[in-house]
Structure 1
Amino acid sequence: MIVGLTGGIGSGKTTVANFFEDLDVPIYISDTEAKRLMNVSPEIRREIVQLLGPDSYTSDGLNRKYIAGKVFQDNTLLQQLNAIVHPRVAINFANWYKQQDSPYVIKEAAILFENGGYRDCDFMILVTAPMQDRISRLKKRDQSSEEEIRDRMDAQWDDAKKTALSDITIENSILEETKRKVLRIHNHLLLRITNNW
């Protein structure tokens, strides 16, 4: 079973994914794998440089700040970048999935709804958090300005649109409550899988 885990930037998807990982559920973090592929694949690198210019990479690898500054101001560029990266991530996930043998896996991705990836999932979990919490988390994590954060948020669907397509929503404000909800969802999924067998 493939369980999709998504949520707006700064909602705390990684925290929720970590709670599932503590329960021995295999986790695929799409954003981490996308960045890795963007760094290691010569084909992806060449296509990104063609799209966004040579400043897309520094001697240390992917220039995330430069790329974010370009694509979150221009939706066409963002779609073109996604068209380069997402098909490769999908192949990478499919290969990873074949190697797993647990009752279910978590596929964590920020834009599972926006890119249509949710259609390949058997169950969808949406993580939400109050806007101000999300902004302060991102300021701390990325040292981004509020304007940069809002640009990135504007590139994603709003929570109301995602909620309509989700099987369950986790409001991620109080960590202990989030952890308890993850355990309840885990038990529900195991029961559902057992009953289907």
Structure 2
Amino acid sequence: MTGRPRPFLLGLTGSIGMGKSTTAEMFRAEGVPVWDADAAVHRIYGAGGSGAVALSPLVPGVVTPDGGVDRAALRAAIGEDPALLGRVEGLIHPLVAEDRAAFLAAAEAGLVVCDIPLLFETGADAWLDAVLVVTAPPEVQRARVMARPDMTEQDFARYLARQTPDAEKRARADHVIDTSLGIEHARGQVRSLVARLNGSRNGGNDA
């Protein structure tokens, strides 16, 4: 162990179509390490990942020949037995936490962004130092989402049903960026926030 201080953990979240992934890339462009919860799940479910070992006793037939998790088969199993979801999450969430801990241990930075789609829904705000929510007006969100290939109104409604409403996210956030105001505006907001948080950690007077 190096004994260096723990980095400031900024959670990044936003409902579907709000521009979260684009904003995460802006932080990376500023040199801020970004831990991606979705990417962690893909690693865990991928060939040779720890997810197959964890889930094979619980969901027979879910492991693919290459040693990964057949996510379609897993979704089908949960569809047949909704109570299974809680048991799957009970196995996978600790593996995601291990992935995050390894990332943080390797990140030599004073500020780290944790990109978590279901941040409030999973209670991640309890261990984060601050939360940034990206937002956009409902009509902009809908236009972005419905422009995606194969997206249907039913799919959009299903996504929204799983997610904390945007208004509640904004009310609970420490920082908010409206991505409908343009890429350069969002980039400027990201740069300002990075400077402010780094300045605060380094004893600056930024408020």
- Please classify the TM superposition score into its range, dividing by the shorter chain length: 0.7 to 0.9
Structure 1 segment 19-34 matched on structure 2, within 5 A: 19-34=26-41
Structure 2: stretches of 5+ with no match in the other structure: 1-7
Whether 1:105 and 2:112 are equivalent positions in the alignment is yes
Counterparts of 1:131 and 1:140 in 2: how far apart (Å)?
Answer: 14
Counterparts of 1:117 and 1:47 in 2: how far apart (Å)?
Answer: 22
Q: Percent identity?
A: 26
With over 3 angstroms needed to count, the CA separation of the structure-2 counterparts of 1:56 and 1:12, relative to structure 1, is farther
Query: How many residue pairs align between the two structures?
Result: 197
Secondary structure of the 1:40 match is: coil
Counterparts of 1:179 and 1:141 in 2: how far apart (Å)?
Answer: 23
Greater CA radius of gyration, 1 or 2?
2
What residue in structure 2 maps to residue 122 of structure 1? 129
Identify which range, 34-43 or 7-16, moves more after superposition. 34-43
Relative to the length of structure 1, the TM-score reads: 0.82
What residue in structure 2 maps to residue 194 of structure 1? 202
- 1:26-77 CA-to-partner distances (Å, cap 9, x unmatched) read 1111101111211235652365566667478698965556656776999755
Structure 1: stretches of 5+ with no match in the other structure: none
Higher relative contact order (CA 8 A, sep 6+): 1
What residue in structure 2 maps to residue 177 of structure 1? 185
With over 3 angstroms needed to count, the CA separation of the structure-2 counterparts of 1:146 and 1:71, relative to structure 1, is farther
Counterparts of 1:56 and 1:133 in 2: how far apart (Å)?
Answer: 39
- Aligned CA RMSD, in angstroms, stands at 3.0
With over 3 angstroms needed to count, the CA separation of the structure-2 counterparts of 1:171 and 1:67, relative to structure 1, is farther
Counterparts of 1:46 and 1:145 in 2: how far apart (Å)?
Answer: 34
2:10–2:129: 8 Å Cα contact kept in structure 1? yes
Secondary structure of the 2:46 match is: helix
1:2–1:107: 8 Å Cα contact kept in structure 2? yes
With over 3 angstroms needed to count, the CA separation of the structure-2 counterparts of 1:42 and 1:93, relative to structure 1, is closer
1:37–1:44: 8 Å Cα contact kept in structure 2? yes
With over 3 angstroms needed to count, the CA separation of the structure-2 counterparts of 1:13 and 1:130, relative to structure 1, is same
2:13–2:117: 8 Å Cα contact kept in structure 1? yes
Counterparts of 1:149 and 1:73 in 2: how far apart (Å)?
Answer: 22
AA in 1 matched with 2:11:
G
With over 3 angstroms needed to count, the CA separation of the structure-2 counterparts of 1:98 and 1:157, relative to structure 1, is same
Identify which range, 29-38 or 41-50, moves more after superposition. 41-50
With over 3 angstroms needed to count, the CA separation of the structure-2 counterparts of 1:43 and 1:105, relative to structure 1, is closer
Cα offset, 1:107, TM superposition: 0.5
1:75–1:155: 8 Å Cα contact kept in structure 2? no
2:51–2:68: 8 Å Cα contact kept in structure 1? no
Higher helix proportion: 1
With over 3 angstroms needed to count, the CA separation of the structure-2 counterparts of 1:20 and 1:96, relative to structure 1, is same
Secondary structure of the 1:127 match is: strand
With over 3 angstroms needed to count, the CA separation of the structure-2 counterparts of 1:143 and 1:78, relative to structure 1, is farther
